[in-house]
Amino acid sequence: MSDPPSTGPPLRADNLNYLRKQAKSLVRKARDGDADALSRFAAIGASVCLSSAQFLIAKDAGFESWPKLQDELHFQEYLKAAHRLDASVPLQPGEKMSTKQTLKLGPIDQIGLNCTDLDMAQKFYCDVLGLRQTGDVPGTMKFFDCDGVNIVIFKSDTVGPNSCIYFRVPGEVGLIERQVALLKSHGVKVESDPHVIARNWNGCDVWLAFFRDPFGNLLSLKSDVPVKRA
């Protein structure tokens, strides 16, 4: 069996066992005299050892250190177990729906739009439309309250004729996964399965899933699941 590649971004950056094998492979290649592997250690001024290799692999995967990579992947493993991710099965070709149940969606949680200038967007939505700015991520997005519905304005290079409507899902553990499973049972195209985009944001883990309507419009389910205190 050949070693996993040890240069460039990890092929499976979400698999800790695979990344451990990559680190060991990088050490082995360097000790065998592989020029590319040796140059990687030299670039950070480190000796050829496992801890240095793990640091290099962590950087490839987008983390500052191996411990931070481990922490995040252990957290993701916990999420999959606690929230039963990857348990839903979409309809197969030729299969028919076996349920008449609907998602029974309630209020819209937030609506996402694009702009090319966040300051200009703020002046328009606040000074012209009279909305209240409720927060921002500098240089990335601004949040505005529209009578209880969040308007999120994202900074982008161009603005296309599309937006995304986010439907609120109650913050019940596992509910957003069950809702997505129901969407799949209806044959809906799911663009992104439920995943956490923010950990412990105001006391909640923020979950998103994306899907499209029959016309290609992008829609989303959003769930703020309270973080249980020990």
Other CB atoms within 10 Å distance of the CB of residue 198: 12
pLDDT (tens digit per residue) in 154-202? 988 887 766 788 999 999 989 999 999 989 888 889 999 999 988 888 8
Residue 50 phi, psi (nearest 5): -65, -40
Q: What CATH number does domain 108-226 carry, 3.10.180.10, 3.40.50.620, 3.40.50.300, 3.40.50.2300?
A: 3.10.180.10
pLDDT, averaged across the chain: 84
Residue whose C-alpha is closest to residue 131's, from 158, 149, 110 = 149
Query: Which sequence spans correspond to the domains of the chain?
Result: 16-82, 108-226
Tokens, residue 9: 């971004």
Q: Are 69 and 58 in contact (CB under 8 A)?
A: yes
Tokens, residue 69: 């990579």
Q: Quick one: pLDDT at residue 4?
A: 46
Q: Quick one: pLDDT at residue 180?
A: 92
pTM over 0.85: no
pLDDT (tens digit per residue) in 103-150? 888 888 999 988 999 999 999 999 988 899 999 988 899 999 998 899
Q: Quick one: pLDDT at residue 193?
A: 92
CA separation for the pair 137, 110 (Å, rounded): 16
